[in-house]
Amino acid sequence: RTVYVNGSFVPEDEATVSVFDRGFLFADGVYEVTSVLDGKLVDFAGHCGRLRRSLGELQMTLETTDEELLAIHRKLVSENAIEEGLVYLQVTRGAADRDFVFPPEDTPATLVLFTQAKSLIDSDLANRGQKIFTVEDQRWTRCDIKTVQLLYPSLAKMEAKSRGGDDAWLVRDGLVTEGSSNNAYIVLGDGTIVTRDLSNLILHGITRRAVLECARHLQMKVVERPFTVDEAIGAVEAFSTSASGFVCPVIAIDDNRIGTGEPGPVAGKLREVYIAEMRKSAI
C-alpha cells in the first residue's frame, strides 16, 4: 500500500512519524474518514469543511489547501486501486519537545493519509442489523471536535462486544448522545425519525447531514432532540449513520428486540437512497 506522510507518497513500511509527535504523546490531533464509492470520494467538501472547523477549534494550522488535500486523496485512491473503501486523514500539531504548552507557531503539522479497501455497500452488519449495548458517555464535552482521542469510545465498543453486541450507544444524563463512532437514530410508531440535536455533545456527522436531507426529500418527518434508552427500546426501528457504515440498522438494544427484531424499512430505504445520492455526487 502507498501512504502519504508530510509531502511524500511512500510504501507503508517506509512511512515514519517522530516519537515526539504530539499526536502520539498528547492525542493532539484531528482526523477525517472519507468513503470511496466507484473509485470516487463521497462528500469530500463536507469532510474538508469539518476538518477545518476541528483544526480551528484547537488553534491548529495546516498549510495544505483543500485543493491539495483533494489531490492527495485522489492520488492514494488511484495508486492503491480503491474502488470501494475509505481514506483516513490525520493532522497533528507536529513534533516538539514534550510540553503541555503548544510548540512554536512555525512547528509544521504532521499530515498522514492512508487508504483501506473495504466492501461498504454489501455489508454483513447492515444485512443482519446491529445489536447495541448502552454505556455511560464518559467522554469530554467537546465531542463536536473530531480528535484522535478515541480511547473511551474504544473501551465502550469493547464493553458492548464483551456482552455479545456489535457496538455501544453512549448515554449522558439518561439521554443517548451517539454511537461509539456513529450517530444514533430511532423511528417512532408514527414514522417520525428522532436523532440527537447538534451540540458540543456529539460529532456533527457528515453522513447525518446527508441522510437527514434524504429523509426530508422522502417526506419523512425528522425531529432533532434527545431521547432516552427506554424510548429507544420502545421504538419501532433504530439505526446509526457514519461515513463507513452509511445507514446501518439496529435490531436490539440492551438485549431488547427493536420492532420486529429485523432490519426495518425506514433504515433500508434511507440506506438505499443515501447510497444512490452519494454515487451520483461523489467526485
Question: Interface residues with ligand PMP (CB under 6 A)?
Answer: 33, 178, 181-183, 203, 205-208, 241-243
CB of 71 to ligand PMP, least distance (A): 22
Closest approach, Cβ 181 to ligand PMP, in A, equals 4
Cα–chain-centroid distance for residue 90?
Answer: 13
Question: Which of 246, 257, 231 is closest to 282 using CA atoms?
Answer: 246
Which among 40, 118, 131, 146 is annotated as catalytic? 146
Nearest to 118 by CA among 164, 76, 89, 84: 84
250: nearest Cα among 163, 177, 170, 187: 187
CB-nearer residue toward ligand PMP: 54 or 241: 241
If the CB atoms of residues 76 and 170 are measured against ligand PMP, the closer one turns out to be 170
Q: Which is nearer to ligand PMP, 95 or 250 (CB)?
A: 250
Of 77 and 86, nearer to ligand PMP (C-beta) is 86
Q: What's the closest the beta carbon of residue 19 comes to ligand PMP, in angstroms?
A: 26
In the three-class reduction of DSSP (H, G, I as helix; E, B as strand; rest coil), residue 29 is classed as strand
The arrangement of strands across the sheet holding 29-37 comes to: 8-11, 2-5, 110-117, 85-92, 29-37, 40-41
Least distance CB 95 / ligand PMP (angstroms): 25
Please confirm, yes or no, whether 269 is among the known catalytic residues. no
- φ, ψ at 89 (rounded to 5°): -125, 135
Catalytic residues, which ones? 146
